A and B are shown apart, each in its own frame.
Chain A
């Protein structure tokens, strides 16, 4: 017993010795972002290395708001991310359900194509997508342009398909024998059982939308229709760059996500692992 607890302790010490430097390397930029967000611009460029927060955070926020209407952009980001996440989880669940539970002609071809789109780099897709949305459909600077094009997420479809495939088929056969309609089976049995997977997917999709920079920059560049990351980007000018404001904006973009992740990390990891185990 004694030697066992001793070896556990040793393992724990070794693990911490390995992980602590990694955590510091990962957290250091975040910490510096926070420090810079509390400093006036001239302080950021001072030759001294300052590791403790200063007092100019609110001034930076005020400047940021004056330069870019950042809170307006944040609101757009939140609305887009929420609607996008909801619609995308719904769509990918429906597609995943169909691919997992119904047999139809050309099914393997459809799955193959969806799998194939994952291998395409985004930079290959983004130009044709932009031409289609902005030129053919005249949707630049609209909510539709922000939300709809990225909705169909092939990774999400495969993620949900996997979750539904692993549910025992007898469950749905039992419902069919009971006369439960197909849409009721999906809504009342399959979706509630897929809740952990859907939660994990929702977090991934929300983050993807929240952090998305390139697509909103391309289609929604008009002031008043910008998302927060795009608004922040406009602060980088040719002559003057307001680093204090940018860092304050970055903190406001990062903090909510970080807090939510810390609170939900157990569910998040459980949802991801649910796809891997049994």
Chain B
């Protein structure tokens, strides 16, 4: 059990900077998820914590101790890899005990740890099999087991579920969550899947191009994204972004009009000094935040393109007059698919506003 802190961590390959000064504090026992699109630096950051990549600048502390130059094995961490990285020529039991045996750990202690891990993960009957005789889910369990036997202070997971099929992924996600509850160990988890991030994390770290864009609890990121990138990344289906223009400024509020549907005007309460009339902005609306016509602040009619009915909910893919496609989520709308147009309402309270650079204005 340990806390972790990153102080201004930088990673450079030659003159190319990959991580631009990351700052993060992880509390003891916390489940932190690094999320971001591929190439954002999340795996590099994790590998730097593991000690598999050198740290170019800044300070990394685990349990209060600076570990920049400490060998991976002496950092008190264990890591689960995307490819599972099981030793193909060893049985499950040998895979679990390999690291301990190589380090001269007493046999009785090794056996105890292996037994305990195999019971936690319910793989006791697989112990004599080799990795190629296991299914994807079983392999993942063994990989997690190999991390557990190290009795680490921090678990590191590098996209551990991305090789599994959808159903198994959900199942393993629940198991990892359960494991965290049981062990209460600090866990750092890297994924590009925002659903995994939302469901597993105590705290999410959103990364883009080597920068931390926002750190917060899952629902904080959903309710209060720091910028357009985070707003678009958190939530599924993703937030709709509608080009708009500021047409009027009042004290303490502004009015914006959609660029391709000028009659749709929405008054938003923001400090008007930071913007000017005629400025191009982006209106952000989550699919689930479109309301029934007449129930919001302004109605908007769109052309229905495709409707997907999932039973409990429907996703309607529609076009605004100018061409942008938007997604609307409706709870009960079994007959929307037959319509050519649909009128929905926007509510100022459920709408975000971003400037041209993607910074959040509201």
Contacts and interface: CB of A to CB of B under 8 A. Distances in A.
B99 interface: yes
Contacts of A170: 81-83, 85
Contact of B103 (A176, A179, A192): A179
B257 interface: no
B83 A176 contact: no
Interface in B53-80: 71-74, 77-79
Contacts of A177: 50-52, 72-73, 77-79
B102 interface: yes
Contacts of B146: 174, 178
A208 interface: no
B102 A176 contact: no
A223 B309 CA distance: 91
A171 B85 contact: yes
* Range class of the A interface residue count: 10 to 19
Given A178-B150, A179-B74, A179-B103, A173 B85 contact: yes
A175 B99 contact: yes
Contacts of A181: 102
Interface in A176-227: 176-181, 184, 188-189, 192-193
Contact of B88 (A173, A188, A193): A193
Nearest to B143: A174
Interface of B: 47, 50-52, 71-74, 77-79, 81-83, 85, 87-89, 98-99, 102-103, 146, 150
Contacts of B79: 173-174, 177
A237 interface: no
A30 B260 CA distance: 86
Given A178-B99, A179-B103, 20 more contacts: A168-B85, A170-B81, A173-B85, A174-B79, A176-B73, A177-B51, A177-B72, A177-B73, A177-B77, A177-B78, A177-B79, A178-B73, A178-B98, A179-B72, A179-B102, A184-B102, A188-B98, A189-B87, A192-B89, A193-B89
A174 B74 CA distance: 14
Contacts of B103: 178-180
A199 B89 CA distance: 16
A174 B73 contact: no
- By Cβ-Cβ distance, the 7 closest A-B pairs, closest first, are A179-B73, A178-B99, A174-B85, A170-B85, A170-B81, A180-B102, A177-B72
Interface in A125-158: none
